[in-house]
Amino acid sequence: MVRIRSYIDVTSKMLFAQLKQRVTEKQSFGFMFILAAICNGLIIIGYGELFSIVENFARKSVANHLVLMLVAAPILFLAAWYLNTIKFPFSSGSGIPQIITATEISAETQAGKSFVRQALSFRTAIAKIFGSLMVVLAGGAVGREGPSLHISASIFYLFHRALNKIHKTPDHKSWIIGGAAAGLAAAFNTPLGGIVYAIEELGSQYFTEIKNNLLLAVLVSGIASQTILGTYLFIGTPETNPYNFRLLALIVALSAFCGLAGAFFGHLVYLATQLKNRIKSMPVRVFFVSAIAVTVCLIASMDPFALGTGREYIASLLFTDQTPSIFTVPLRLLNTCLVYMTGVAGGIFAPSLALGAGLGFHFSGVIESLMPFSNTNLFILCGMVSFLTGVTRTPLTSFILVVEMTDRHISIVPLMLAALVASIIAKLWNKEGFYGLAMLDYLQRIKVQTEKS
């Protein structure tokens, strides 16, 4: 075994030495970046399909085998909790705060280098995949979009490290930002949304230097995704009627409410993530996670729309005549907050869109009871945009994502208005959104580690 490892090490060093002599830095960079984008597109597609299968299976299991699920849920949650908080702690949560932190810190310091390597390691990405799948299988109301960004950034960073063996490329930021943008584009099938999110949230001060790499990453991942899945819309094409000034005034009111609700939800999720750190006793933590797992499973049994990403819930609001329960929104909100209390992997992008859709639908119902009205779908879309803006503080990304997901360019003006109003109102609550608050926590930990060393 030792001889085999020695032979592999010598052979790999010789190959890298030959590559370094024959291939220029630009050629190797371009080749590795394209290869990373292709691999990323394929992996995110597979992850998304697997997530959908598991979500549908969980919905059927909760409806038909509740007792069995109540037994299985604590086991699944404990396994995910151990994987995402004990074994690989940087795989917890949505993953977006880890990405933002990795783009903010310098990888030249020992603490910064250690953080980036651990937060974006291949093992962390694998733990993210399995942890999030186990959570949704147990009935958790989480999304796959945040984890998709984290996984994608990890894939690109892995290729960056491989390239470093051929040509020294100390700058890791363009790889991480490009990977995250490609992940969002592949997860939602929204290439423009991926680019805008990278600029707005991940690399606004860094965009000039990485714009070509960013476009390349999103383009190649998008081609890989659409080659396999086709040119589909994440949600579909809902019918929306023309709007007037009276309707725009109502949208302002809805957007202000949803923006504030999104800011509150984001802060609530942030406080939920802090709660897990206060419990030090291992037996108490195990009991705590198990109790949450049972609660989450019971919530899912009460309402099938209260688990998973919320995509099915949004589709039912937009495309069916069914009257959804008024309790779906609070049940989904409670489910997501409980999941985040445990520290397991899961995103809040899609759950935020679902909550905003529900609020928009019920707001429309109130308006219909007071005056003639027939534009419910537009209110649902505006609720999605404004609620997501309140959570993330990324108004451009929010309305572009919804436009791309629904192909509703005819409604772009009210959606832009919703994003603007929600952004202004949300900042009255707190200047930082959920991701910003979580990033500040990571930066504080790195600062403490740096001072100790």
> Between the CA of residue 262 and those of 99, 387, 391, 433, 444, what are the distances in Å?
22, 5, 5, 9, 25
Q: Can you count the helices (H) and strands (E) in the chain?
A: 19, 0
The pair of three-digit structure tokens given for residue 133, joined into one six-digit string? 């799948």
Burial of 16: CB neighbours in 10 Å, binned 0-12, 13-18, 19+: middle
Query: Of 143, 231, 146, 243, nearest to 191 (Cα)?
Result: 231
Report which DSSP code applies to 422. H
**What's the rounded Cα separation, in Å, for the pair 52 and 57?**
9
Q: Per-residue DSSP letters for 224-249?
A: HHHHHH-S--SS---------HHHHH
What angle (nearest 5°) sits at the alpha carbon of residue 67, between those of residues 64 and 68?
80
Q: What angle do the packed helices 395-406 and 173-188 form, to 10 degrees?
A: 40
Query: Of 168, 167, 166, 221, nearest to 193 (Cα)?
Result: 221
**What's the rounded Cα separation, in Å, for the pair 238 and 384?**
13
Residue 208's contacts (CB-CB under 8 Å, 6 or more residues apart) are: none
What angle (nearest 5°) sits at the alpha carbon of residue 429, between those of residues 425 and 433?
95
Would you give per-residue pLDDT tens digits along the chain (453 residues)? Answer: 555 556 556 555 555 555 455 555 556 667 787 888 888 888 998 999 999 999 999 999 999 999 999 999 999 999 999 999 999 999 998 898 999 888 887 666 777 788 889 999 999 999 999 999 999 999 999 999 889 999 999 999 998 888 877 766 656 788 888 888 888 888 887 777 887 887 777 655 555 555 566 666 777 776 666 667 665 566 667 777 777 778 888 999 999 999 999 999 999 999 888 877 777 788 999 999 999 999 999 999 999 999 999 999 999 998 888 778 899 999 999 999 999 999 899 989 899 999 999 999 999 988 887 777 678 889 999 999 999 999 998 888 898 889 888 887 778 888 999 999 999 999 888 878 888 888 888 888 887 777 666
**What's the rounded Cα separation, in Å, for the pair 436 and 188?**
22
Q: How far is CA 205 from the centre of its chain?
A: 22
**What's the rounded Cα separation, in Å, for the pair 163 and 35?**
11
> Between the CA of residue 340 and those of 133, 196, 264, 279, what are the distances in Å?
15, 27, 15, 14
Task: Scan for tokens 């030249």, then name that residue.
Answer: 108
All domains of the chain in start order, with CATH:
26-229 (1.10.3080.10), 245-441 (1.10.3080.10)
The pair of three-digit structure tokens given for residue 431, joined into one six-digit string? 């200047």
Query: Of 130, 127, 133, 131, nearest to 52 (Cα)?
Result: 133
Ramachandran region, residue 343 (left: φ > 0; alpha: ψ -120 to 50; beta: rest)? left
**What's the rounded Cα separation, in Å, for the pair 246 and 24?**
61
> Between the CA of residue 310 and those of 10, 25, 85, 337, 362, what are the distances in Å?
51, 44, 25, 15, 16
Q: What is the CA radius of gyration of the chain?
A: 22
Contact 380, 218 (CB under 8 A): no
What is the pLDDT, as a whole number, of residue 321?
Answer: 80
Q: Is 143 helix (H, G, I), strand (E, B) or coil?
A: strand
**What's the rounded Cα separation, in Å, for the pair 69 and 439?**
35
